[in-house]
């Protein structure tokens, strides 16, 4: 049974309603259907696309206008218009920014309660230091900066380095739990390549990991490995099956951060494929290739380095525009959060 005729504010005596408000109270029933709509969420998130060709010149200009010392992090935030441009939300739970660092610049050491990752878009010579380990940033690499771990960025190459930041900031800020601590530069106490050497091969772990788990063992996922793994997976996947790899914690096999999930998708030449319709929201970033995305009633053409917001409960079809080259996508979602909350659903 569904109630369709709930009482409104206008049904109530004005003085009664004003007294409720004066006492910091409200009647639920006029607003009940807004917060508990039937069947599926009332989504404010729009399926928007941010084209790299539009954002890149503005980001490079920020490099001229604002010295790094005046920015701490030189970032243009991708804001979903459906969620209010001031709120720094690509989807309701996911923050996305494009960060620029120029040669010789450093983004100082800090740690914070939100979880963050970097996904490298262009440039060579960038690095992030996490937990005393210097992590090289090559195009397409995923670098984790888990909640509460110190991290700082630098650039030893030439030309601009740009990466995509994904954070659970809207969630952590929304529960009044977002804060940051600044620190002096970290002492690097590990050899470059340590965590990928120890944990970077699926199915193999340092023997000691059987008895002693590390909280966040693998902090860098090189794109060259992900791309090769996708191609291998594609070879054994029948046509019509989505070629998608999850980035996981190699010790547990579970998602690598508490709230945000990461995956990579390969669209085979000419492939058109539906994503499972599910409760989670996501952001898709184009690593390589071009194509189109149908998201509910919207359609967007995409090309390399574009970024697309996908609302919760959205029907998504992706297609590769090339008949002879694969396309590669990186996806951030809030599925780990949904799973922890017990609200994760796949509808087909």
- Which one, 107 or 266, has the nearer CB to ligand GTQ? 107
Answer for the pair 95, 85: CB distance below 8 angstroms, yes or no.
Answer: no
Distances (CA, A) of 100 to 62, 134, 200, 306: 8, 18, 27, 16
Looking at the Cβ atoms of 71 and 292, the one nearer to ligand GTQ is 71
CB of 154 to ligand GTQ, least distance (A): 12
- Residue 162: φ, ψ to 5°: -125, 135
Q: Shortest approach of ligand GTQ to residue 101 CB, angstroms? A: 9
Provide, rounded to whole angstroms, the least separation between the CB of residue 171 and ligand GTQ: 14
d(CA 50, CA 48): 7
For residues 130 and 293, which CB has a smaller minimum distance to ligand GTQ in the complex? Answer: 130
Contacts of 124 (CB under 8 A, 6+ apart): 138, 139, 157, 159, 161
Q: From the CB of 65, what's the least distance to ligand GTQ, in Å? A: 17
Cβ-contact 199, 218 below 8 angstroms: yes
Residues that bind ligand GTQ (CB under 6 A): 73, 75, 97, 99, 107, 112, 116, 151, 165, 167
Structure-block tokens of residue 85: 């441009």
Name the residue nearer to ligand GTQ (CB basis): 170 or 289. 170
Handedness of CA 66, 72, 73, 77 (dihedral sign): negative
Helix/strand/coil for 201: coil
The helix/strand/coil state of 250 is: coil
Minimum CB–partner distance for residue 137 and ligand GTQ (Å): 12
Least Å distance, CB 147 to ligand GTQ, is 11
- When the beta carbons of 146 and 326 are compared against ligand GTQ, the nearer one is 146
Nearer CB in complex with ligand GTQ: 99/131? 99
- In this structure, the strands spanning 261-267 and 272-274 are unpaired
Element spanning 292, H or E = strand 291-295
Q: How far is the CB of 167 from ligand GTQ (least distance, A)?
A: 6
Q: Of the two residues 107 and 329, which places its CB atom closer to ligand GTQ in the complex?
A: 107
């Amino acid at each position: 049974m569904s109630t369709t005729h709930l009482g409104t504010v206008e049904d109530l005596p004005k003085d009664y309603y004003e007294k409720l408000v004066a006492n910091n109270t409200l009647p639920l029933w006029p607003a009940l259907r807004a917060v508990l709509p039937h069947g599926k969420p009332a989504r404010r998130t729009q399926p928007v696309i941010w084209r790299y060709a539009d954002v890149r010149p503005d980001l490079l200009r920020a490099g001229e206008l604002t010295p790094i010392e005046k920015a701490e992090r030189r970032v243009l935030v991708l804001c979903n218009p459906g969620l209010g441009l001031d709120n720094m939300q690509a989807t309701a739970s996911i923050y996305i920014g494009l960060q620029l660092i120029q040669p010789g610049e450093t983004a100082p050491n800090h740690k914070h309660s939100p979880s963050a990752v970097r996904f490298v878009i262009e440039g060579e010579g960038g690095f992030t230091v996490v937990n005393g380990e210097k992590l090289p940033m090559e195009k397409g690499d995923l670098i984790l900066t888990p909640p509460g771990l110190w991290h700082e960025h630098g650039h030893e190459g030439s030309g601009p380095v740009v990466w995509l930041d994904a954070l659970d900031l809207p969630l952590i800020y929304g529960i009044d739990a977002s804060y940051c601590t600044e620190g002096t530069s970290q002492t690097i106490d590990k050899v470059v390549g340590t965590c990928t050497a120890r944990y970077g091969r699926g199915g193999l772990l340092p023997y000691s990991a059987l008895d002693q788990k590390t909280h966040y063992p693998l902090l860098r996922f090189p794109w060259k490995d992900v791309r090769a793994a996708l191609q291998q997976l594609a070879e054994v996947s029948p046509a019509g099956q989505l070629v998608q790899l999850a980035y996981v914690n190699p010790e547990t096999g579970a998602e690598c951060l508490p709230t945000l999930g990461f995956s990579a998708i390969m669209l085979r030449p000419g492939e058109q494929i539906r994503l499972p319709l599910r409760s989670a929201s996501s952001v898709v970033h184009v690593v390589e290739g071009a194509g189109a995305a149908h998201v509910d009633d919207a359609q967007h053409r995409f090309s390399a380095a574009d970024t697309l917001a996908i609302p919760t409960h959205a029907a998504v079809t992706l297609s590769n525009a090339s008949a002879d080259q694969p396309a590669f996508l990186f996806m951030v979602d809030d599925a780990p959060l949904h799973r922890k909350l017990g609200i994760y659903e796949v509808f087909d």
